[in-house]
């Protein structure tokens, strides 16, 4: 099915090329991406050429090579610095987000001359609160995690997604329905990035995206899944 996975913010920057690709599509041949481990490690693109040369969950590019991440339900976050014309791709699942991978990416871009208000970001397709159930015990852990803005966003009752094309997740543990993209946006704003500089492409990988998009759906139905690559690069002037 055709989904709108474009970011008006990134599209407004004339120097950026990017894509949130469907499940199974290959990234650009020259793309740099890490061996992802839900960490807070963010490295330069040269450190992951060839791909997966080191463990990292964020890649920064300062030239015109594409930097990429691969996801299934985690957040792919693409960042463009309109001041230095640098870019970054970040893999932000719940563990990596709580460990500070988004903070680290912003910090490293600012070390290279960016300012929070020069950064433009898009949070791509990922599992949404309509399908992301967590155990109640996780709320306490999240609340006690250093650097997490409070209150975090969650729902006691499962939200209905009127745009779902397949059944939403069924409750497995009488837990809560967590807003991971909302947490990411809160943390990015805590880094000083204006809310108007953050796009969220509201496509739930569990119930809205193409078949094979969701690790969690596969764990419930053994349907198979494939990585979804998201990438960004500075457009070549040549």
Taking the C-alpha atoms of residue 59 and residue 33, their distance in angstroms, rounded to an integer, is 7
Tell me what pLDDT residue 84 has: 98
DSSP states along 215-236? HHHHHHH------EEEEEEEPP
pLDDT in tens, 191-230: 999 999 999 999 999 999 999 999 999 999 998 999 999 9
pTM above 0.95, yes or no: yes
Domains of the chain: 8-234 (3.60.140.10)
Q: Which two tokens stand for residue 203?
A: 């496509």
* Helix segments in the chain, DSSP class H: 8-11, 94-99, 101-111, 136-143, 180-190, 215-221
Q: List the pLDDT tens digit at each of the 238 positions of the chain.
A: 447 799 999 999 999 999 999 999 999 999 999 999 999 999 999 999 999 999 999 999 999 999 999 999 999 999 999 999 999 999 999 999 999 999 999 999 999 999 999 999 999 999 999 999 999 999 999 989 999 999 999 999 999 999 999 999 999 998 999 999 999 999 999 999 999 999 999 999 999 999 999 999 999 999 899 999 999 999 986 4
Q: Are 70 and 33 within 8 A, CB to CB? A: yes
β-pairing, 119-123 with 198-200? parallel
């Amino acid at each position: 099915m055709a989904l709108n996975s474009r970011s008006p913010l990134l599209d407004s920057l004339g120097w950026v090329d990017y894509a949130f690709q469907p499940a199974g599509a290959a990234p650009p041949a020259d793309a740099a991406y890490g061996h992802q481990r839900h960490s807070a490690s963010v490295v330069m693109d040269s450190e992951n050429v060839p791909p997966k040369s080191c463990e990292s969950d964020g890649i920064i590019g300062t030239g015109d090579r594409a930097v990429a991440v691969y996801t299934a339900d985690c957040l792919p976050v693409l960042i463009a610095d309109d001041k230095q014309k640098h870019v970054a791709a970040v893999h932000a699942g719940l563990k990596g987000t709580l460990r500070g991978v988004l903070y680290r990416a912003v910090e490293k871009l600012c070390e290279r001359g960016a300012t929070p208000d020069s950064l433009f970001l898009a949070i791509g397709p990922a599992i949404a609160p309509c399908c992301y159930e967590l155990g109640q015990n996780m709320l306490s852990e999240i609340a006690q995690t250093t650097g997490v803005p409070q209150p975090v966003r969650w729902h006691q009752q499962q939200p209905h997604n009127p745009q779902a094309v397949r059944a939403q997740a069924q409750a497995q543990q009488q837990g809560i329905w967590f807003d991971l993209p909302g947490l990411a946006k809160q943390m990015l704003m805590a880094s000083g990035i204006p809310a108007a500089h953050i796009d969220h492409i509201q496509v739930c990988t569990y119930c809205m995206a193409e078949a094979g998009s969701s690790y969690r759906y596969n764990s419930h139905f053994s349907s198979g899944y494939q990585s979804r690559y998201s990438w960004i690069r500075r457009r070549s002037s040549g």
